Amino acid sequence: MFIALSLIIISWKWKVDLRLLSVGWIILLIVNIGFFINKIDPGFVDLLSTVSKIIIYIGMVQPSFSFLVDDLRSFLLGGIPTKYSTVIHGSLNLVNLKNATRERDVAWINERVDNNSKIGVRTVLITLYDLITARNITHYDENEDLYIVRILQGTRNILNTFEERIMSINDDLNQIDILFSDIINFSTERKVPCEIIIYTFSHMVHTHGWRRVYSFITTKIPLIKSSNVFFTGFYYPESHEKKSEILTFERMTDSIINQ
């Protein structure tokens, strides 16, 4: 009973979708009470217990809580394209930052956002440690075709009263994984083309290790390929001590863009 009530309270207080876990534990609670007062046949108890445990297991291995807040949903559904792309298939791309400058990076992102906007593609910029902020983006307040996600250590949804279309999440690869899944699933369900830009992919590799990031990317490849979501990561080849590691990521991509 304690676990079932706790899940309901957590779901209500923190707006976390724990329906599968709650249903599974509630069924298990009812079964145990029925068995204790001799109102449910023992054979039926085993059957219902098995079903409830399967539901609990599904709820545990497929986390259904979401970072897809209302303003991000509205952003993905917004925009009026001036022309439409013919066929859009998801792809993975890397932008080589060799000899690049901050001004060139920002200019590239601005141009990319504008080009995406013209064909109805929404752009989500994931920036690690505020390497690029809204202040760096030209006319950000007027740019309705860009959404920024800040990845910061020790944060939980930091609000910026002077900025719109910005959310912040903790520097946790599991949370970034959930965010990716949210965007890809929403984009697929609503048929909304989207590009996720990471600035920078190299910083993610340095922080979390290339093996964890490699595992994260490989699990997302099938989802991206079957969706209309583009993944584009900025990277510094010279910052990686082991060239074999960055070569592994380069081989996974559909294209490498040189500025």
- 3-state SS class at 122: strand
Contacts of 211 (CB under 8 A, 6+ apart): none
How much is the pLDDT for 9?
64
100: its two tokens: 């690049």
**Spelled out in words, what is the top-level CATH class assigned to the domain 70-258?**
alpha beta
* Helical pair 173-190 and 201-208, crossing angle rounded to 10 deg: 140
- Amino acid symbol at 179: L
Q: Distance (Å, rounded) from C-alpha 148 to C-alpha 140?
A: 10
The tokens describing 242, both together, are: 């082991």
CB 120 within 8 A of CB 77: no
Residue-level pLDDT, tens digit, the chain, 259 residues: 556 566 566 555 544 555 666 777 788 778 778 777 877 777 777 787 888 778 776 666 554 456 566 667 777 777 655 555 554 678 899 999 887 788 888 889 988 988 888 888 889 999 999 888 888 876 666 667 788 999 988 755 544 433 457 888 888 888 888 888 888 888 888 888 899 999 999 999 999 999 999 999 998 888 888 888 999 999 998 888 888 888 999 999 999 988 7
Residues contacting residue 203 through CB under 8 Å, at least 6 positions apart: 128, 129, 131
pLDDT given for residue 208 in this prediction: 92
Distance CA 123, CA 41 (A): 56
Query: Three-class SS of residue 194?
Result: strand
Give the domain ranges of the chain. Answer: 2-61, 70-258
pLDDT of residue 175: 83
The residue written with tokens 């724990």 in the block is: 18
What pLDDT score was predicted for residue 14?
47
pLDDT at 1: 57
In whole angstroms, give the CA distance from residue 259 to residue 250: 16
Q: Name the pTM for this structure.
A: 0.70
E strand residue ranges, the chain: 91-96, 122-128, 146-152, 166-170, 194-199, 229-235, 255-258
